[in-house]
Chain A
Amino acid sequence: MSTPSENSELPQALVDDLRALGGARAPEELWMRVQEQRQISALAELESSQVVRAPEALWDRVQAARAARGEFAAPRGRVLPWKQLQILSAAAAVLVLGVIGFRYLGEENHTMVQPVLAGATDAATKEALRARALGMVVTPEELSPSARTVAQAFGAALPLEKRPMGMPEEGR
């Protein structure tokens, strides 16, 4: 994971929120995506540094003049510079991925939440699934030894073995 100094370009509120998560570890995929986003930002910065940029005030004046001519409506509110938008987009991505990641890191590790299928499966579909295997109801004794062992490990009642002849059940 990155050190706090590496995240210095993030808004303070986001940094505080991330710190408030404590020692929880984000998914590796999240860190890869953040790295990817930082590389994109670095490339954009590199490209922008290689061209001569007009003063910001000039662009504002051009926009105002175009609005006055009715070419388009003047934007209302503050227009954020491209770099700031990138930072906010990255921050939003971090938050969204973080929420998703920590949801899956939730109460049980190795948990993959499965969709509820029964409600979406009609009786005919279930019948078709059952038709793939020919079922026969048998007594527990007719199951394989391995099946009985597996079932007992998962909570089935113990088989009550008969005692040898001449060994009556002793009360306790």
Chain B
Amino acid sequence: MRRFLLLLPAVLFACEGQQATQNASKSASSSSGEQLALSGPPGGGLQQAPGGAQARIYPDVAYPEDVEVEIVRLAELRDASGLMQQLEERLLSDGLGNTQLTLQGVAAESGQPLGNPTPAQSDRYLAQQKYYIKYRDLHLGASSALWQNYLVIQEAATVDIAGIACEHYTLTHRHGMGDAELFLDPATRLLMGWTLFDASGIATARMRVQSVNWAPNLGSASWPVPFVSEQDYAGATDDHLLGLPPLRPSYLPQGYYLAEARILFTEVLLPGFGNLLVERYSDGVRQLFLAQHERDLPPGHQPLAKITHLRLSDLGGLRIAEGDPTRHRLYVVGDLPLSELHTVFGGMLPE
């Protein structure tokens, strides 16, 4: 048990790859000159522009990992203490599925100058870059869910980001669970920026592109190869890969649908840990993750506890519920209130 706990952070999502060179310094502020206010208007993240309303818009988005491009961007994530952590990233993509995301600068809060990342932070990016792009970055989900949960409006005014007058879309949650906004280059459809707000209108995550290079030098790129292979989870026929049938949710927050289920083959690297099942639910914008694996219990050991304990923690933009029901280790992760995560967790336990 101790062995896999020590190894897990380094290996679970580890990737091989070339560590990027640290580029010259840049200031933490956006080169576009756009105002990076930390919070939106009280009581809601976005104001609707008069006359800008259009019904049932599904923005046509080109995600950076789907095109050949090199971008430098500033990610801002709210941490557990409420500060907006700043991360300057360089993303290189060949448009064919190969991506490289490196951390160039870090600041503990908005307004501070960026400093060089620590080796541990760089290593963490090296290991988790694929998942930052896939899971942390904003991706629109099914149109039915998007329209069910959000009012999508293209604002009349454009917003300048990295010297490009970008289309500005506001996504207002119909039940006040937190709004979002995105910015698109009208010529290339490239996602130039996005913001997620919580229910009180405070920004919890934000991304802004600072520079775009449409002719990147891919010749010297070293694409990371995941240590952990993965595949789609096809249902009960794949349960033998998990070691035991997974726990199923009997309760989901309003408007969420199952967008993807994947098996990560962590057992190969960490015997006794079991393979990890990751189910990703989406409300069209936000995501909820249910991840579970078999616990590393001694042979023949049967859990005696009648009551399942779980730990709930607020990490800033994201919250998590973690516990060990029966022979499973279960994680529920999302930006929903802790009480909602607790309800989802409880709904996965037998009565």
A residues lining the B interface (CB < 8 Å): 106-108, 110-114, 116-119, 121, 126, 128-140, 142-158, 160-161, 163, 169-172
Contacts and interface: CB of A to CB of B under 8 A. Distances in A.
Contact of B343 (A119, A126, A138): A126
Given A133-B308, A137-B313, 10 more contacts: A114-B257, A135-B312, A137-B311, A145-B8, A146-B5, A149-B13, A155-B136, A157-B85, A161-B121, A172-B24
B266 to A, nearest CB: 10
B251 A126 contact: yes
A1 to B, nearest CB: 22
A106 B144 CA distance: 10
Contact of A156 (B291, B316, B349): B316
A154 B342 contact: no
A129 B341 CA distance: 11
Contacts of B192: none
Contacts of B120: 161
A155 B13 CA distance: 13
B320 A143 contact: yes
B148 to A, nearest CB: 8
A113 B310 contact: no
A89 to B, nearest CB: 30
B349 A155 contact: no
Interface residues of B, number: 82
A38 B87 CA distance: 61
A157 B346 contact: no
Contacts of A169: 115
19 contacts: A110-B261, A114-B258, A130-B339, A133-B323, A133-B342, A133-B349, A134-B308, A137-B314, A143-B320, A149-B8, A149-B12, A154-B136, A154-B289, A155-B205, A157-B78, A158-B85, A160-B108, A169-B115, A172-B26
A113 B5 contact: no
B165 interface: no
A163 B142 CA distance: 43
Contacts of A149: 8-9, 12-13
Contacts of A106: 142
Contacts of A146: 5, 8-9, 12, 329, 331
B36 to A, nearest CB: 16
A148 B9 CA distance: 8
Nearest to B87: A158
A132 B114 contact: no
B121 A154 contact: no
A81 B131 CA distance: 60
Given A146-B329, A172-B25, A116 B255 contact: yes
Interface string B16-58: 0000000011100000000000000000000000000000000
| Central interface residue in B131, B251, B315, by most chain A CB within 10 Å | B315
10 closest A-B pairs (Cβ-Cβ)? Answer: A172-B25, A155-B136, A118-B254, A129-B346, A157-B79, A153-B131, A157-B77, A132-B346, A156-B315, A147-B322
B331 A150 contact: yes
Contacts of B255: 116, 118
B310 A135 contact: yes
Nearest to A169: B115
Contacts of B26: 172
Nearest to B26: A172
Nearest to B196: A155
A152 B135 CA distance: 10
A130 B317 contact: no
Contact of A129 (B121, B251, B317, B318): B251
Contacts of B6: 145
Given A110-B232, A146-B329, A134 B115 contact: no
Contacts of A130: 339, 342-343, 346
B94 to A, nearest CB: 22
B307 interface: yes
Interface string B331-351: 101000011001101110101
B158 interface: no
A140 B144 contact: no
Given A107-B142, A145-B5, A117 B313 contact: no
Contact of A114 (B13, B256, B314, B349): B256
A158 B232 CA distance: 28
Interface in B272-308: 281, 287, 289, 291, 307-308
B257 A112 contact: yes
A62 B288 CA distance: 68
Contacts of B349: 132-133
B244 interface: no
Given A144-B5, A147-B311, A160-B108, A155 B253 contact: no
